[in-house]
């Protein structure tokens, strides 16, 4: 069911997004004839790739709760954007998320408390601060869209941001993947091998913060962590090697994303949450094929 004001395939214009729209319009499905679904499909594929690549490392580094904290802290980023009078709070959200990620990463190494305690403290503070600022004067209701997200509102400029993030993640994989894997296994040993452990951790934390924050406006902060964790967790149950682990995570993430997007179109449900249901289905199936 198309959204109000949606139109059919755009007939004019150029560029990669327009070429993609013409390609998707050839599919023999009702939903493929609408521009907002064509854009949403491309955004879901891009975001699914990002979630799979980062989620695989998150699981290995036992940082699933970390990404959840970053997602919830996005409310404070929105609040800072409002206080600063920004028309689009995205950059305030990204800046705050990166700073928070850096603070949590550094404090995890120096605090006597456990990692989950440190992360919980920061998340609680950030969420409370964001709610206090946004609820001042009773105006919190207009920001609840960030809780659920709306991938059907994605625009070509948003897709360009996702493509830029894919470039950053691929650069991280090419330059620091082996170091990040080593650090996740044994930080002390990695440090003795002249790997700059803190730099690797900070770079990865900042990357997770940027991807989570940019994606929240489409998938919602309530489910963004599940989209990062579930495909990677399912892939880990079935992969015989690191390469297979990454490959399976990407395949499961993309399959869940496309299936959830199409299902949400016909069911008239929130896309992000629908994608999570399919990802959970893949995870349950992976338990039956779990490698010993």
- CB–CB of 31/265 below 8 Å? yes
Beta-carbon contacts of residue 219 (< 8 Å; ≥ 6 apart): 47, 149, 151, 227, 271, 272, 275
Helix (H, G, I), strand (E, B) or coil at 251: helix
Per run of 10 residues, the mean pLDDT along the chain (length 292 residues) is 41 68 90 93 95 91 83 84 81 90 82 78 87 76 78 90 95 92 85 88 91 89 89 90 92 96 94 95 89 59
CA 51 to chain centre: 5
CA atoms of 48 and 169, how far apart (whole Å):
13
CA atoms of 189 and 186, how far apart (whole Å):
5
Beta-carbon contacts of residue 292 (< 8 Å; ≥ 6 apart): none
Quote the pLDDT of residue 6: 40
Quote the pLDDT of residue 2: 46
- CB burial class (10 A; 0-12, 13-18, 19+) of residue 130? buried
User: How wide is the angle at C-alpha 144 spanned by C-alphas 230 and 45, nearest 5°?
Assistant: 40
- CB–CB of 279/159 below 8 Å? no
Helix (H, G, I), strand (E, B) or coil at 188: helix
How far CA 140 is from CA of 78, 81, 135, 153, in Å, comes to 11, 14, 4, 21
CB burial of 34-52 (b: ≥16 within 10 Å; e: otherwise) equals: bbbbbbbbbbbbbbbbbbb
User: How wide is the angle at C-alpha 175 spanned by C-alphas 157 and 77, nearest 5°?
Assistant: 40
- CB–CB of 94/209 below 8 Å? yes
CATH of span 33-222: 1.10.3470.10
Quote the pLDDT of residue 12: 42
Quote the pLDDT of residue 162: 93
Per-residue pLDDT of 189-224, as tens digits, reads 888 888 888 899 899 999 999 999 999 888 888 889
Quote the pLDDT of residue 3: 43
């Amino acid at each position: 069911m198309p959204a109000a004001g949606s139109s059919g395939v755009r007939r004019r214009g150029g560029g990669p997004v327009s070429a993609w729209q013409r390609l998707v319009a050839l599919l023999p499905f009702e939903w493929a004839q609408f521009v907002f679904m064509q854009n949403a499909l491309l955004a879901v594929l891009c975001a699914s790739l990002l979630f799979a690549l980062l989620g695989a490392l998150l699981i290995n580094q036992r940082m699933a709760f970390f990404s959840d904290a970053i997602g919830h802290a996005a409310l404070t980023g929105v609040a800072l954007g409002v206080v600063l009078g920004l028309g689009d709070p995205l950059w305030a959200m990204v800046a705050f998320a990166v700073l928070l990620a850096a603070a949590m990463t550094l404090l995890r190494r120096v605090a006597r408390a456990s990692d989950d305690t440190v992360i919980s403290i920061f998340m609680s503070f950030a969420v409370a601060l964001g709610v206090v600022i946004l609820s001042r004067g009773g105006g919190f209701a207009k920001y609840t869209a960030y809780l659920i997200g709306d991938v059907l509102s994605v625009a070509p400029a948003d897709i360009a941001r996702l493509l830029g993030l894919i470039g950053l993640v691929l650069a991280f994989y090419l330059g620091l993947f082996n170091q990040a894997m080593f650090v996740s296994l044994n930080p002390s040993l990695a440090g003795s091998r002249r790997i700059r452990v803190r730099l690797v951790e900070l770079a990865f934390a900042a990357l997770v913060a940027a991807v989570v924050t940019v994606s929240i406006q489409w998938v919602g902060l309530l489910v963004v962590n599940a989209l990062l964790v579930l495909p990677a967790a399912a892939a880990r149950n079935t992969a015989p090697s690191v390469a297979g682990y990454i490959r399976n995570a990407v395949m499961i993430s993309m399959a869940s994303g496309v299936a959830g997007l199409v299902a949400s179109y016909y069911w008239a449900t929130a896309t992000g949450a629908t994608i999570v249901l399919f990802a959970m289905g893949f995870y349950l199936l992976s338990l039956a094929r779990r490698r010993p």
